Structure 1
Amino acid sequence: MIEFCTRRRMVLAILVLFSLTVVTLIVEGRWSNNHKIAEVNAENESSCGSEPVKVIESCQQCSTLEINAGQVYCLKTGYREQIQCGKGKHKENVFKRSCKVDPWVEERKFWILELITCIVGIGTYGIVRHRQGILDQQLMEKVNRQIAA
Structure 2
Amino acid sequence: MIEFCTRKRMVLAILLLFSLTVVTLIVEGRWSNNHKIAEVNAENESRCGSEVVKVIESCRQCTTFEMKSEQAYCVKTGYREKIQCGKQKDNIYKRSCKVDPWIEERKFWILELVTCIVGIGTYGIVRHRQGILDQLLMEKVNRQIAA
TM-score bracket, normalised by the shorter chain, equals 0.7 to 0.9
Aligned to 1:20: 20
Q: Percent identity among equivalent residues?
A: 81
> Aligned ranges for residues 21-60 of structure 1 at < 5 Å?
21-30=21-30, 32=31, 34-36=32-34, 37-38=36-37, 39-40=39-40, 42-60=42-60
Determine if the alignment matches structure 1 residue 147 to structure 2 residue 145: yes
TM-score of the superposed pair, with normalisation by structure 1: 0.84
Which residue in 2 is equivalent to 1:125?
Answer: 123
Using a 3 Å threshold, how does the CA distance of structure 1 residues 5 and 108 change in structure 2: closer, same or farther?
same
Query: Structure 2: how far apart are the matches of 1:76 and 1:51?
Result: 24
Aligned to 1:84: 84
Q: Residues 26 and 67 of structure 1: is their aligned pair in 2 closer, same or farther, counting only changes over 3 Å?
A: same
The structure with the largest helix share of the pair is 2
Tell me, which stretches of 5 or more residues in structure 1 are unaligned?
A: none
**Alignment check: 8 A CA contact 2:33 2:101 kept:** no
The CA RMSD measured in Å over matched residues stands at 2.0
Aligned equivalent of 2:70: 70
Cα deviation for residue 26 of structure 1 reads 2.3
Tell me how far apart the structure 1 counterparts of residues 92 and 4 of structure 2 sit (CA, whole Å).
Answer: 68
Question: Residues of 2 paired with 1:108 and 1:137: CA distance?
Answer: 43
Unaligned regions of 5+ residues in structure 2, if any?
Answer: none
Per-residue CA deviation, residues 8-36 of structure 1 (Å, 9 max, x unaligned), is 32122112211221123224434x3x543
TM-score normalised by structure 2 residue count: 0.85
Alignment partner, residue 100 of structure 1: 98
**1:66 CA displacement:** 0.9
Amino acid at match of 1:103: P
Aligned-residue offset at 1:5: 1.1
Which amino acid in the other structure matches residue 119 of structure 1?
Answer: I
Task: Give distance in 1, aligned partners of 2:96 and 2:124.
Answer: 46
1:3, distance to aligned residue in structure 2 (A): 2.6
Q: Deviations over 1:76-117 (max 9, x none)?
A: 2221101122335x3x22210111111111111111111111
Deviation at 1:48, TM superposition (A): 3.2
Please state whether the residue corresponding to 1:50 is helix, strand or coil: coil
Q: In structure 1, how many angstroms separate the alpha carbons of the residues matched to 2:137 and 2:69?
A: 62
